[in-house]
Amino acid sequence: MIQRFMNGKLYPLFVPLISVVLGLFFGALIMLAGGYHPILAYQSIFESVFLQPYYTGETIRTMIPLVLSGLAVAFAFRTGLFNIGVEGQLLAGWFVSVAAAILCDGWPKILLLPLSILAGAAAGAVWGLIPGFLKARFKVHEVISTIMMNYIALYTTNYLIKHYLYTEGERTPTIPDAASLASATLSHLTQGSRLHWGFIVALLAGLLMWFILWQTTRGYELRAVGFSPDAAGYAGMNVGRNILLSMTFSGMFAGLAGAMEGLGTYQYMMINPAFVGIGFSGIAVALLGMNTSLGVFLAGALFATLQTGGLTMQSEAGVPIELINIVIALIIFLVGSSYIIQLVLNRLAKRGEKR
Amino acid sequence: MSYAIEMRHIRKEFPGIVANDDVTLQVKEGEIHALFGENGAGKSTLMNILFGLYQPDAGEIYVKGQKVKISDPNEANRLGIGMVHQHFMLIDKFTVAENIVLGSEPTRGGKLDMNQAVRMVRELSDRYGLDVDPLKKVEDITIGMQQRVEILKTLYRGSDILIFDEPTAVLTPIEIKELMDIMKRLVREGKSIILITHKLKEIFEVSDRCTVIRLGKVIGTVNISETNPSRLAEMMVGRKVRTPVNDTPYAPKEKVLEVKGLTVLDNRKVPAVRQLDLEVHGGEILGIAGVDGNGQTELIEAIAGLRHVQEGQIKLNGQDITGRRTRKIVEAGLGYIPEDRQKHGLILDFTISENMVLQTYYRGPYARAGVLNHKVMARKAKQLIQAFDVRTPSEKTLARSLSGGNQQKVVIAREMDRSPALLMAAQPTRGLDLGAIEFIHNQLLEEKQKGKAVLLVSFELDEILHLSDRIAVIYEGRIMDIVKPKETNENELGLLMAGRKEARRQA
Ligand SMILES: Nc1ncnc2c1ncn2[C@@H]1O[C@H](COP(=O)(O)OP(=O)(O)O)[C@@H](O)[C@H]1O
Ligand SMILES: [Mg+2]
């Protein structure tokens, strides 16, 4: 039985699914141990996110940058690159989109909004291109260089805000309406949530990633290089150029994630004392989503649900929000150790076969 | 008389496949018994049952006349059965002696007695002529030596029935010769040997009897002295196998490849190809013979644009391709079957369909304006799968899950379909079974007949002698001499390969 299942089409879905179920289960055990009521806790999450429009709206809003970050990580991973630099690319995109919007104040919306979004995407792309270039040209490992690029992005954006775009409240001025993704309609529909049009950008980005990877010759090359740089080189592909491009596309998705925060959720950029963390969550989202567009959406939805619902869980079930972070961490841990899960499954299958 | 090993009516099923079907194997004491069959015939499965790694679904096993149940490898060891695996299980950082005694170390007063261990290993090594240095670290010895360490491991544990699973697949020709001698010595000393192989030559060189397996069933057991290679090959494949030979007239046409004064460095930046000149014409197969490591790899990589040309010129179809990118060279008319098909010839995690267009995906009809046309790709793949008889459930199957022979067929189908002016084939049949080798040899001959140029690099002299119109012997990065197969023999080639040109006249 296990054997047949393992050879089946659904098998790849198994690890993420079982990780989620086990993560929720162990989370429940920890709640019990802490004297909390797990069923009540999960129920309150569920009820708020699915039955209260405000929380539904907030969940989707949280999802937008998570999904875009996840796409960024997944895209690079398809080319065999581990982009830890999504966080920095996101900050670069956030800042440049906001700065572009403020600097070009007075332009009509039809120009200014696309310009600001594209400016953010371009900034992220450049921030990804640099480590891509270092890897392709000098074989500098992308994990090291992207981590350094994260710090450079954090401190540079803070510096630029402080010296050139500062306003009261440790932040930039608010962007002009013409550059804003916020929507009174959406907000009204969701009883005052900060849901904005960025979800369309996220959807388009997901489609774009799928299209590039699976429908274009470029994507074919990127995946070939990801699976086997040697064979790709033997087939006449330019491995270095593909590495560079992969990091650039990846950075572009991350830059979009930043633009969504700047133009949608906040309408400005604040001075960040530390990393915002969305870029790092993107790694988990991509991992759980198995580096596919659809998977990244589902994983993003799950994490957003837990994060947003966690707030009501605290108020209604009296369970501290930290517990939700534990559940999220558990799920990530379980997916990460999927190797072990697969090993156990293989064992079980073997034993079944022996009998 | 009782047999050393008798396996009766063994059956073993894996999901969807019967790997062993009513298999009976009788191994006499003191004989070398070959187990012969194509890849996937079920040889390893049968031996894994004998070694206690798998349990049979049905059947009985007798060791020296006693009925036994072999539940695990320890039990097999206890019964005197030892297995030399294809993939060695040695610890690199340990010495030979440490590796050999690992798990049943000699002790003195509860303490490991390393001197004793070294002495015992040396004794065994001398007795069977293995010539192994017990104090060397495993990482410092050759693959051939590592295999001998594996043999010593089984001897140290007192095995008197030794199973060798395709032992020559990883060895050089000289090491193979030495291994054959070792096996003969082992049986002289009273051991019994089961030799798994799909190479006819080895069977006729050492074994006494041979059991042929095809698709999980025993076709028969024969005395080697009473059969001949083509009979045996026929039993294995299930039909007549003709060794393809190059018997069409040699009528070279225009120069297709021209290499002049070529110097190429190896990975350590030492010249591996030195001032080499070479020409290949349309309508000929030029075989390059040589011992591994004399510049063959560097030469073909330089031609393919994968390695920097230090000095000299390469012309393909009259175009100067020196220093060009691989893609440009492929477009100029190069087809290339790389030595390592898994690492260089295929993207293992791509489907067959994707692999079939590895050099052409960016061109029509497979793509337009940068967008792939999956339908056309699939149609092409289906056509090639059929034409080249690739055994696969569908064109969407991952290359990884194909057998070695079928993977090679995918590479060959792809390269030939482009109809390149020059086809370079590096070790195109390494590790493949008879049926697949026959197929590939026929394909190469067909290219010649189509008037294409073929550059064949191989360490197998037989292959070179059978297929080539001219043989270029490479030694230390230079062409020693170019000879016609009809005017030479293995002896002369062997001397040339060792760098002895004066031998030419005497041979
Ligand atoms: N552990 C296994 N699970 C499923 N199928 C197997 C397993 N081992 C071998 N097979 C299948 O059984 C058949 C015989 O394999 P094997 O004994 O390895 O052949 P050989 O050693 O003769 O090349 C092949 O079709 C192979 O795919
Ligand atoms: Mg085998």
Q: Report the DSSP pairing between strands B217-223 and B255-265.
A: unpaired
Tokens of B399: 């290359």
Pocket test for ligand 1, best of B45, B85, B165, B214 (most atoms within 8 A of CB): B45
Return the residue whose CA atom lies nearest to atom 5 of ligand 1. Answer: B14
Query: By CA distance, what is A224's nearest residue in B?
Result: B347
Q: Looking at the complex, report in whole angstroms how far the Cα of residue B358 sits from the nearest Cα belonging to chain A.
A: 6
Output the pLDDT for position A354. 45
Ligand closest to Cα of B403 equals 1
Positions of chain A with pLDDT lower than 50, given as ranges: 1, 353-355
**How many other CB atoms sit within 10 Å of the CB of residue B139?**
11
Using DSSP, state whether B426 is helix, strand or coil.
strand
B236: Cβ below 6 Å to ligand 1?
no
Running DSSP on this structure, what letter comes out for residue B1? Answer: -
DSSP state of B399: G
Nearest chain A residue (CA) to B335: A235
CA B241–ligand 1 middle distance (angstroms)? 24
Optimal mutation site among B18, B372, B375, interface A, most CBs of chain A within 10 A: B372
d(CA B352, CA B380) in angstroms, rounded, equals 10
Alpha-carbon distance B156 to nearest alpha carbon in chain A (angstroms): 31
B347 neighbourhood in chain A, CB within 8 Å: 224, 227-228, 231-232
Chain center to CA of A167? 29
Atom 24, ligand 1: which residue's CA is nearest? B40
| ipTM at complex level | 0.87
Ligand 1 closest atom vs CA B47: 17
Residue nearest atom 18 of ligand 1, based on CA coordinates = B44
Angle at A224 between CA A219 and CA A230, to 5 degrees: 145
Nearest CA to ligand 1 atom 3: B14
Residues A106 and B220: their CA atoms lie apart, in Å, by 90
Please tell me the distance in Å from A259's CA to the nearest CA on chain B.
28
Q: Across chain B, which distance is largest between two alpha carbons, in Å?
A: 79
- Asked if A4's CB is within 8 angstroms of B15's CB, the reply is yes
Q: Give kind and range of the element (H or E) at residue B21.
A: strand B17-27
Q: Please give the span between the terminal C-alpha atoms of chain B, in angstroms, as a whole number.
A: 49
Ion ligand 2: residue ranges with CB closer than 5 A: B 44
Tell the residue number behind the tokens 């998977």, with chain if given.
Answer: A295
> So what's the pLDDT on residue B63?
95
| Angstrom distances, CA of residue B365 to CA of A184, B395, B505 | 49, 18, 55
Residues in B whose CB is inside 8 Å of some CB of A read: 14-15, 55, 304-306, 325-327, 329-330, 336, 338, 343-350, 354, 358-359, 361-362, 367, 370-372
What's the token pair of residue B169? Answer: 């697949």
Chain A residues within 8 A of B326 when measuring between CB atoms: 233-236
Contact B286, B472 (CB under 8 A): yes
Please state, as a whole number, how many other Cβ atoms lie within 10 Å of the Cβ of residue A349: 18
The ligand with the least distance to the CA atom of B12 is 1
Residue nearest to atom 7 of ligand 1 (CA): B14
Number of CB atoms found within 10 A of residue A168's CB: 6
Answer yes or no: do A235 and B338 touch at CB < 8 A: no
Burial of B127 (0-12, 13-18, 19+ CB in 10 A): exposed
Pick B348's closest partner by Cβ from A228, A233, A238: A228
Q: Please, where are the H alpha helices in B11-102?
A: 43-50, 73-78, 96-101
The strand pairing partners of B193, in sequence order, are: B32, B162
The most distant pair of C-alpha atoms in chain A lies apart, rounded to whole Å, by: 76
Q: pLDDT, tens digit, for every residue of A109-127?
A: 999 999 999 999 999 999 9
Is B30 in a helix, a strand, or coil?
coil
Q: Inspect the interface and report whether the beta carbons of A224 and B358 lie closer than 8 Å.
A: yes
Of B217, B436, A77, B325, residue with least CA distance to A85: A77
CB atoms within 10 A of CB B306: 20
Going from the Cα of B44 to the center of ligand 2, the distance in angstroms, rounded, reads: 4
Query: From CA A201, how far away is CA A181, in angstroms rounded?
Result: 10
Q: Which residues of B touch A354 (CB under 8 A)?
A: 55
d(CA A283, CA A87): 10
Q: Does B255-506 match B3-237 at the fold level? A: yes
User: How does strand B161-165 pair with strand B192-197?
Assistant: parallel
Tell me the angle at which helices A198-215 and A53-78 cross, rounded to the nearest 10 degrees.
Answer: 30
Enumerate the domain spans of chain A.
Answer: 65-299
Tens of each residue's pLDDT in chain B, 507 residues: 679 999 999 999 988 789 999 999 999 999 999 999 887 889 999 999 999 999 999 999 999 999 999 999 999 999 999 999 877 788 888 999 999 988 878 877 778 788 888 999 999 999 888 889 999 998 888 888 899 999 999 999 999 999 999 888 777 777 888 899 999 999 999 999 999 987 888 899 999 999 999 989 999 999 999 999 888 988 888 888 777 888 888 889 999 999 999 999 998 899 999 999 999 999 999 999 988 889 999 999 999 999 999 999 999 999 999 999 999 999 999 999 998 899 999 999 999 999 999 999 999 899 999 999 999 999 999 999 999 989 899 999 999 988 888 999 999 999 999 999 999 999 998 877 788 888 999 999 999 999 999 999 998 888 999 999 999 999 999 999 999 999 988 888 888 888 877 655 544
Q: Which of A228, A238, A353 sits opposite B347 (nearest CB)?
A: A228
In the prediction, which pLDDT does A2 show? 53
* Interval between CA B39 and ligand 2 midpoint (Å): 6
* pLDDT at residue B507, rounded to an integer: 43
**Half-sphere exposure of B277 toward its Cβ, with a 13 Å CA cutoff?**
4
Closest Cβ–Cβ partner in A215, A221, A234 for B344: A234
Cα(B451)–Cα(B333) distance, integer angstroms: 13
Q: Is the CB of B169 under 6 A from ligand 1?
A: no
**Shortest-distance Cα residue to atom 14 of ligand 1:** B42
Ligand 1 atom 9: the closest Cα is on which residue?
B45
Q: Do A223 and B345 touch (CB under 8 A)?
A: no
Exposure pattern of A60-77 as b/e (b: 16+ CB <10 Å)? bbbbbbbbbbbbbbbbbb
Is CATH 3.40.190.290 the classification given to domain B255-506?
A: no
- As a residue count, chain A comes to 355
Pair B5, B26: CB distance under 8 Å: yes
Contacts of B349 in chain A (CB under 8 A): 227-228
- Residue of A2, A211, A220 to mutate for B, most B C-beta atoms under 10 A: A220
Enter the DSSP assignment of A165.
S
Q: Cα distance from A282 to chain B (closest Cα, Å)?
A: 25
Alpha-helical (H) ranges within chain A are: 2-7, 11-33, 38-51, 53-78, 86-103, 109-138, 142-164, 184-189, 198-215, 217-227, 229-234, 239-260, 278-288, 293-312, 322-336, 338-354
- Superfamily of domain B3-237 in CATH is P-loop containing nucleotide triphosphate hydrolases (3.40.50.300)
Q: What ranges do the domains of chain B cover?
A: 3-237, 255-506
The answer to whether the CB of B203 falls within 8 A of the CB of B36 is yes
Contact A227 B350 (CB under 8 A): yes
Q: What gap in Å lies between CA B38 and CA B334, rounded to an integer?
A: 32
CB pairs under 8 A between A and B: 67
Cis bond upstream, residue A173 (ω within 30): no
pLDDT of residue A14: 79
d(CA A158, CA A165) in angstroms, rounded, equals 10
List, in sequence order, every residue forming a beta bridge with B481; answer none if it has no partner.
B473
Q: Which amino acid is at B416?
A: M
